């Protein structure tokens, strides 16, 4: 916990405020304390997931090319804890036990995010009784 506390700070976002944009350098992550944040793809055209209290926002800082895959925007006043991911990534390289624990925890976040993305994509496909000519 001390390692995380050393690279953390509290931050606030107003409703509608951009937290990060798709394609930006990924060097941070957040834990939401209060409020709601929407993850979006393609410049707000595709909502992926809405996150709230206790949820983690951002995992792209862990993996090359360290680029954000989605955009994030507060949809109501939001308080969060900001973590310096670049510093933590460097710490993972020197403290493999810490790195392993961090990866285990972020793996669950990544799986959830990917499942939400897939579900959102699936729900946008027009539903018909025929698929590729098959009834």
> What are the structural domain ranges in the chain?
2-120
In order, the DSSP letters of 19-46 are EE-TTSB--EEEEEEES-EEEEETTTTE
pLDDT in tens, 55-110: 999 889 988 999 998 899 999 999 999 999 999 999 999 999 999 998 888 888 77
Assigned superfamily of 2-120: Jelly Rolls (2.60.120.10)
| Residue 29 · residue 38 · CB < 8 Å | no
Residue 133, C-beta contacts closer than 8 angstroms, at least 6 positions apart: none
pLDDT in tens, 3-15: 787 889 999 999 9
pTM confidence score: 0.77
Strand 46-51 to strand 37-41: parallel, antiparallel, or no bridges (unpaired)?
antiparallel
């Amino acid at each position: 916990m001390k390692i995380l506390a050393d690279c953390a700070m509290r931050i606030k976002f107003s409703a509608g405020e951009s937290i990060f944009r798709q394609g930006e350098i990924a060097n941070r992550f957040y834990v939401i304390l209060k409020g709601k944040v929407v993850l979006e793809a393609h410049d707000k055209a595709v909502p992926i997931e809405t996150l709230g209290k206790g949820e983690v926002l951002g995992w792209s800082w862990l993996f090359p090319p360290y680029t954000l895959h989605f955009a994030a925007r507060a949809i109501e006043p939001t308080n969060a804890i900001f973590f310096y991911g670049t510093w933590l990534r460097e710490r993972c390289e020197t403290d493999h036990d810490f790195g392993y624990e961090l990866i285990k925890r972020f793996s669950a976040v990544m799986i959830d995010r990917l499942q939400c993305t897939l579900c959102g994509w699936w729900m946008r496909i027009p539903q018909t009784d025929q698929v590729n000519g098959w009834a």
